[in-house]
Chains A and B, each alone.
Chain A
């Protein structure tokens, strides 16, 4: 890779997160000579597993619920050893348990609550109906995921096909369902839940899932889309399913990495890119932080779109209107990550032992989630945060020393720009989280040996994610599809010729789906064929 020969690499992919790896692999499979550069010493981005306390390791992403089947297939991940159906407890999908401070928990089993325990019979019936409805409606939006978004004006065949498929899927719903679909499309999740359910725990969980990772409360109009996005994901062909992967997220990344190596991608870690070299409007190579320059026919950036365009390319080479749009992408994270090193498995009263392998959620009611959201609007953290918890070491004992246990939690809401500053705010926020945990797992405080709390500001630094936003840009209606990352440039292209985007900042967004990487690779291969 030290060659200065301009033709050595067909493509260089910047960023070794899962999307970068997937995109690089597919380009290599398309007979391109591909180099992938990762700034960190390890591949995987936010999905990489790191030691946060001697003997304790965890990754920031901890649940797999949307790795797309086309990705699994295109990369032959199953052949390479990925077994998605074998989740935490060895054979089934991971359950979601809604913890309750002073009562029994409620548990969704199977693929997003195929069965529900801990609820009244009436509620179970209501949930059954709602679940079917949610999955059907989410299904209408599915055709959009694994394609370039439809674009205005250009009438790209792929985009039109997706629109056509969606229209057909909508028609197939039948008239009254289609009407309801159109009504609820941009609605808030809170209202929909109130219309159909009555158990606060169940509603709390759904509300939490709808807003997890975004700067919205359950009462915010359009928040239902978040739940659709979640349910448009599937694992092993089961919509809405989730697994805590065997061997942890690290195993998933290792498999994808193996696919990349297998396909012949040259992987290079510890290579920090300083600049994308542009000549007469065309990307021709990269300048590394080390000062070295590498040339390539095509540059693919699987890092954040703002970083790519404003830092690596630089505003002066772009048009002002685009610079404005990029700067206006909302990407201030609201989720903090807690890694807790424990001396033993904590006791969550009422939760069955096998369910501890699943996802434990503290979100007592939609109103509670909404109340937790309020302070985040003003740069304050929530005094009663809501969170989803996993205990990854139960699935992969190698993550913790013997008798030790890891608690991994995504905690919402923790605004990126805390008014008082995270330096003084962090201990206070950690105390609030621990108090919440203590209330749901009495005695957990005594087991805690070490707590690592990553605020969005920390996540920004550690994973080079501006705003610490795990979607690389709010996944809200106005930043989806043709508006992602910005309108006019939603199809992985950029105004710089032969520079492409392939990260979660592009359509369809974040979560470990691999779709931005997949779609981008297809786009790049097609564009190359056109040349």
Chain B
């Protein structure tokens, strides 16, 4: 029976990035995916005739340009359409628009506060400075601070030097960034509620934290980092939905000789005398690989796929303590016509970006309080967009696909499993919030797909439906991600690696975990990684 050089479990974007790099290094790589399609959470599916849904991930964020280049994704069909704007609609019928143009942005803010309009430059400078400090870390393996290996020491020295290169003021700000809440941070720059709500968004998306939780300022950086090197379209729609990203990755992988097997759910990673040997599928079939790489999150990988006895106690304890918290849901809607938003001018570029309906930090925080109590938010935070305003491939002319990312949705409802009735009630909070700002909205709905953490976990395999495969708090970043001592993509099992968003630098459709893991694997195999572009300079 054939023994693959590498078996990658899970065809999400990080699994595919990892597989691409390994295949291009001359290894014989098989990607196995439980669903009948690849893509994991980055997929496009026709769930109702004539409408293509980006049913989980909905935005091409932070995808590393180095990876796009190495894997020739544009050649394999990836087209990213940048956001043209975005807005927060306010309860009094107005809105705050975000524009790409610096001066339009300032004039828009000035409608609410002249002071805030002119505060933006300093805010942008400070955030940019921090991003410039952190961004180069994305494509590096985090050092183990307890290790005395030359490589770890070297990497620590690199970090130390980078930090020492900052001015005292910047250092103080860096340390604050890791510990302060986005709400407190914004209070130091802005005075207007809606403007603070607008900037808070990036501090909470994907996390089980509210804008008043310490540490959310860092989450903001996580969302902004992609823009440091000026990559236009760091945020954008993938033409054809998010599946286009993983389709291009799959095509790139196959073009370089890789093999994908779909409909193949892995039940177990076979380990013999401490070494991974292969995987067993749900049907009982076993295949062999010299190396196994898991794109699944760390809990799924080590608590479900690997037998407990193969893992040291301390590692198991830490994996169990890793926080993967379901905090969001998704409502995907097919519309038979373009919804109206009377607040927004019809030609507003904001319609071709993300829209939000929570206009105060307090509303966002209260939405989080509901989650803490084990309920979905009565007045949820939505990150809503209509990609069909700019992508005709997803629906027929005049018809629209609307993606609503919804926060907060708990993994369990007051301690019990979600029911279908819960799911419908959850969807209703979303529909009714949108309908408040868009008269006649309900009548346009043709079809709706509602995904609570239950559905996200069942289909994509994300534990608790957490989109980042693990919270982005300090205790789970850098050398702590996913667990201390194993933050370098390896595991206690020889030949078993992890490459998903549970690993450094974390979630988002970024590809960096998959790429970094490939680099470590090639290092262990003493193979060349010359086909991997070094991380872009930040100068």
Direct contact of A and B (CB under 8 A): yes
- A residues at B contact (CB < 8 Å): 151-154, 175-176, 178-180, 182-187, 191, 195, 216, 219-222, 324, 328, 330, 367, 370-371, 374, 377-378, 476-478, 482-483, 487-488
| Contacts A152-B172, A176-B314, A183-B484 known; 13 new A-B pairs at CB < 8 A | A153-B168, A154-B168, A186-B473, A186-B475, A191-B321, A222-B215, A330-B184, A377-B362, A378-B362, A476-B214, A478-B175, A478-B180, A487-B173
A378–B474 touching, CB < 8 Å? no
CA distance A447 to B178 in the complex (A): 49
Interface assignment of B373: CB less than 8 Å from any CB of chain A: yes
CA distance A154 to B213 in the complex (A): 32
Which residue of B146, B187, B365, B474 contacts A186 across the interface (Cβ within 8 Å)?
A: B474
B168–A175 touching, CB < 8 Å? no
Interface assignment of B285: CB less than 8 Å from any CB of chain A: no
CB distance from A203 to the nearest CB of B (A): 15
CA distance A370 to B171 in the complex (A): 32
Query: Using Cβ atoms and an 8 Å threshold, which residues of chain B touch A183?
Result: 318, 475, 480, 484
B484–A180 touching, CB < 8 Å? yes
Query: Using Cβ atoms and an 8 Å threshold, which residues of chain A touch B480?
Result: 182-183
CA distance A185 to B480 in the complex (A): 11
CA distance A153 to B314 in the complex (A): 39
A182–B473 touching, CB < 8 Å? no
CB distance from B116 to the nearest CB of A (A): 15
A477–B179 touching, CB < 8 Å? yes
Query: Given contacts A185-B474, A186-B473, is CB(A152)–CB(B171) below 8 Å?
Result: yes
Query: Using Cβ atoms and an 8 Å threshold, which residues of chain A touch B188?
Result: 324, 328
Interface assignment of B92: CB less than 8 Å from any CB of chain A: no
Query: Using Cβ atoms and an 8 Å threshold, which residues of chain B touch A154?
Result: 168
Query: Using Cβ atoms and an 8 Å threshold, which residues of chain A touch B372?
Result: 219, 367, 370, 374
Query: Using Cβ atoms and an 8 Å threshold, which residues of chain B touch A153?
Result: 167-168, 171
CB distance from B359 to the nearest CB of A (A): 15
Which positions 254-308 of chain B face chain A at CB distance < 8 Å? none
CA distance A184 to B318 in the complex (A): 11
B474–A482 touching, CB < 8 Å? no
Residue of B nearest to A378 (CB): B362
Scoring A175, A377, A476 by chain B CB atoms within 10 A of each residue's CB, the highest score goes to A377
Residue of A nearest to B145 (CB): A182
Interface assignment of B366: CB less than 8 Å from any CB of chain A: yes
Query: Using Cβ atoms and an 8 Å threshold, which residues of chain A touch B323?
Result: 191
Query: Using Cβ atoms and an 8 Å threshold, which residues of chain A touch B176?
Result: 478, 483, 487
Query: Using Cβ atoms and an 8 Å threshold, which residues of chain A touch B179?
Result: 186, 221-222, 476-478
A377–B212 touching, CB < 8 Å? yes
| 22 interchain pairs, CB-CB under 8 A | A152-B168, A153-B168, A176-B485, A178-B146, A180-B484, A182-B145, A182-B484, A183-B318, A184-B475, A186-B473, A186-B475, A219-B213, A221-B209, A221-B213, A221-B475, A222-B179, A222-B214, A374-B372, A477-B180, A483-B175, A483-B176, A487-B173
Which positions 150-179 of chain B face chain A at CB distance < 8 Å? 167-169, 171-173, 175-176, 178-179
Residue of B nearest to A328 (CB): B188
Which positions 448-491 of chain B face chain A at CB distance < 8 Å? 473-475, 479-480, 484-485
Which residue of A187, A370, A477 contacts B475 across the interface (Cβ within 8 Å)?
A: A187
A487–B214 touching, CB < 8 Å? no
Interface assignment of B369: CB less than 8 Å from any CB of chain A: yes
Residue of A nearest to B180 (CB): A478
CA distance A378 to B188 in the complex (A): 18
Query: Using Cβ atoms and an 8 Å threshold, which residues of chain A touch B366?
Result: 378
Q: Which 7 A-B pairs have the closest CB atoms?
A: A487-B172, A179-B484, A477-B179, A152-B168, A221-B215, A153-B168, A186-B474
A221–B214 touching, CB < 8 Å? yes
